[in-house]
Amino acid sequence: MKAQRKTICSQLLERFTHDSERFLRSIITGDESWVHHYDPESKMQSMQYRHKNSPSPKKFKVVASAQKVLLTIFWDMESIVHFEILEQGTTINSERYVSTLPELKGRLRPVRQDKVKDVVIQHDNARPHTSR
């Protein structure tokens, strides 16, 4: 495993040394994160008129609701390339992750044709998230 990592790192370093700009543009980064549903009040909506000598109104902390979704997102140095939202109770396993890759490639093809061929996917290597 360590030898394989070393080989891959050497190949990536070689690509960077050869053409750093093109290499950096070919990197797609991916990650997952739980996102909570809530309606935050805008600063304008929460403003109150008060006399200059009046105490400031007490602000209450916004608490995220129990509802949450798992956001899987991929981006490059320019923008978000692809994202998926999975409802609570859904798991990310290797099968689900692998099924995401053709969708990611499909998103790249129309807009970034030069990247589809030599793309490098850098993804968080933590174990997959499982909802309880």
Q: 19 lies in a domain? A: no
In whole angstroms, what is the distance from residue 81 CA to residue 112 CA? 10
The total number of structural domains in the chain stands at 1
DSSP letter, residue 26? T
Name the H helices within the chain.
2-18, 20-25, 43-46, 94-111, 113-116
Q: Could you tell me if 29 and 123 are in contact, meaning their C-beta atoms sit under 8 angstroms apart?
A: yes
**Who's near 86: CB < 8 A, 6+ residues apart?**
69, 70, 72, 92
Question: Could you tell me which residues are beta bridge partners of residue 112?
Answer: none
Range of the domain at 102: 27-36+63-123
DSSP letter, residue 50? -
pLDDT at 132: 44
Q: Could you tell me if 31 and 77 are in contact, meaning their C-beta atoms sit under 8 angstroms apart?
A: no
pTM for this model (two decimals): 0.66
Q: 67 lies in a domain? A: yes
Q: 95 lies in a domain? A: yes
Q: 109 lies in a domain? A: yes
pLDDT at 69: 84
pLDDT at 40: 56
Which residue from 129, 98, 104, 99 is spatially nearest to 119, judged by alpha carbons? 104
Q: pLDDT band for position 109 (50/70/90)?
A: confident
Residues 44-57: tens digit of each pLDDT = 555 666 667 777 76
Q: 78 lies in a domain? A: yes
Phi, psi of 24 (to 5 degrees): -65, -35
Please report, rounded to a whole number, the percentage of residues in the chain having pLDDT higher than 70: 70
Q: 114 lies in a domain? A: yes
Q: 118 lies in a domain? A: yes
